[in-house]
Structure 1
Amino acid sequence: MGRLDNKVAIVTGAGSGFGAAISHAFAAEGAKVLVCDINQAGGDATVQTNPSALAFHKMDVTQAADWKSTIDAATQKWGKIDILVNNAGTSYRNKPTAEVTEEEFQKTFDVNVKGVFLGCNAWLPQAIENKQGGVIINISSVGSTRPRPGLVWYNASKGAISNATKGLAAEYGPHQIRVNSICPLVTGTALFSSFTGMEDTPENREKFIFNVPMGRIGEVDDVASACVFMASSEAKFITGVNLEVDGGRCI
């Protein structure tokens, strides 16, 4: 028996990084997963690992019409949607804040905040109507509470998500809908260079672990495992939590 047997999940940004790892982990625990990404090639690659449990749906999280088609696709294929993972995210390259362009700011908030807003608005009505409860997991960041120079507006976008996570949990708890966020440390994904402003090399990774008690940067499986726990019945009384998955960096 898997911890997510008979569950259906939507995972955004699932063509790579955290999203792909979360999709794989959910499928391994018995869930059916709609793998959502704007990048078809990446989404197809994720699905190929377990086509019996994973299905791809191309979407842009900043478009309400795409969210409607996503909800419809998952419902038509599997009849329900128990779990929503708002993972899709973006960032500009780490640099002095006065050099951040309006376009970079807008894209960051559109994907990181508006995408979660639209996703929750699309998913919540069917969850309430089904009267079976459900789970929303938002991917935030340690930067939401411990911001550092160079990524001010990225961190601010994640601060909005951590705050909204608590508000959603308070509002929809009476419907037995749990809402939590995962707050990872910088991880070896495609966004490493954007977050750090330098090439992803072993030498450069070493520069970011001096204040991490456990002595390393994050791995995608760290986040995926936390998401499996939060989505499972093992976390049935946990809601409104911004869980730091950071090797102790925020201590």
Structure 2
Amino acid sequence: MTTAQPGPRVEAVLFDTFGTVVDWRAGVAAAVDSFAERHGLDLDGQDFALRWRARYQPSMEPVRTGAREFVSLDVLHRENLLEVLGEHGIDAGTIEPGELTWLVEAWHRLPPWPDSVTGLRRLRERALIGPLSNGNLALLARMAKNAGLPWDVVLGSDVTRAYKPQPESYLRAVSLLGLEPGEVMLAAAHNSDLHAAASAGLRTAFVARPSEFGPGQTTDLEPAGDWDLVAGDLVELADRFTGPAWSVDRRGR
């Protein structure tokens, strides 16, 4: 695995969040199981989480194409939840609104992977770090508070007004940091995200998360591109990162 980073030095490392930094499947499944127990429902949390997640990308596509005005991921998650409940024969109208909100906000309470917090703390010593996620700012800020993620900055899709893999989602985040694309690295467990980031001029790091979708996962098991860095987890990524220790005095760039 390469550790060299030729070209402009990387000043910031931004992260895909769902699946790369936090374990959405475990977190959502646990919330669904708790919800089902309270309401006497026959639901399998793991299956429900996968079905809910399956609507993630399709629900954003009308926003990406301009067929729908921008709405936050919290709104899309709630709409998708109602659809999955309907598939299970559950009328959401019979559920107290506060209970539905609690379940939607399971995405705010996702647990970090075991290596995430340690890896991020180490990496933060050498670069600015933050999420570059389709999550909205409130979701990402609450997730960080709950999971102990030591971000320097939180940039939500409602700030960039774009959903990945739209180029604007990457480039507006870079611009908000006052940097150039080549000075920012995206770390992600998803090759498609890295392809889009590279096309926008960002540096790239692949972090393997082979159990994100469970034992039957068949995609993103290994890097599928010439990424700048490849690591098995965030601790290894921090060890391989060779950018400069962060300093507000950047006159030596």
Structure 2 length as normaliser, TM-score? Answer: 0.41
Larger strand share, 1 or 2: 1
Q: Which has the higher contact order (CA 8 A, sep 6+)?
A: 2
Larger radius of gyration: 2
